């Protein structure tokens, strides 16, 4: 049996992993740091939903008033984006409630 050069093998594995994995900066925006954790991510998501709702409302109001630069297509997209983000937040909340109920019903 031939002897395997461990350092060479590890180097090759790191090279292949770097080729397959997206850059680390892409994960920093999606994954919260260890200090914030899940609660920070949840707060950030809820804040984003609120901002989407406010932006859609502002754009709809501007369009209804005939403000210059108000665009129907952009207003409709903002409304759909706000609706979709709200529905996603409600689904996450439902899953959290279901998980909490399941944990509370577990025998100790």
Note down pLDDT in tens along the chain; length 108 residues.
456 677 776 777 777 777 666 555 544 555 545 567 888 888 999 999 999 999 999 999 999 999 998 999 999 999 999 999 999 999 999 999 999 999 999 887
Q: Which runs of E-coded beta strand occur in the chain?
A: none
Tell me the pTM. Answer: 0.61
Secondary structure percentages of the chain, helix, strand, coil, to 5: 80, 0, 20
Are 92 and 62 in contact by the 8 Å Cβ rule? The answer is no
Q: Are 59 and 70 in contact (CB under 8 A)?
A: yes
Q: Could you tell me the CA-to-CA distances from 63 to 59, 68, 73, 82 in Å, in that order?
A: 6, 8, 10, 16
- Element spanning 49, H or E: helix 37-65
């Amino acid at each position: 049996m031939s002897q395997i050069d461990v350092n060479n093998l590890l180097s090759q594995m790191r090279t292949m992993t770097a080729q397959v994995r997206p850059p680390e900066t892409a994960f920093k925006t999606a994954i919260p740091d260890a200090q914030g954790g899940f609660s920070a991510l949840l707060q950030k998501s809820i804040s984003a939903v609120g901002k989407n709702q406010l932006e859609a409302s502002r754009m709809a109001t501007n369009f209804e008033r005939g403000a210059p630069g108000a665009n129907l297509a952009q207003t409709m997209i903002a409304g759909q984006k706000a609706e979709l983000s709200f529905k996603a937040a409600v689904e996450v909340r439902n899953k959290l409630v279901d998980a909490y109920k399941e944990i509370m019903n577990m025998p100790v």
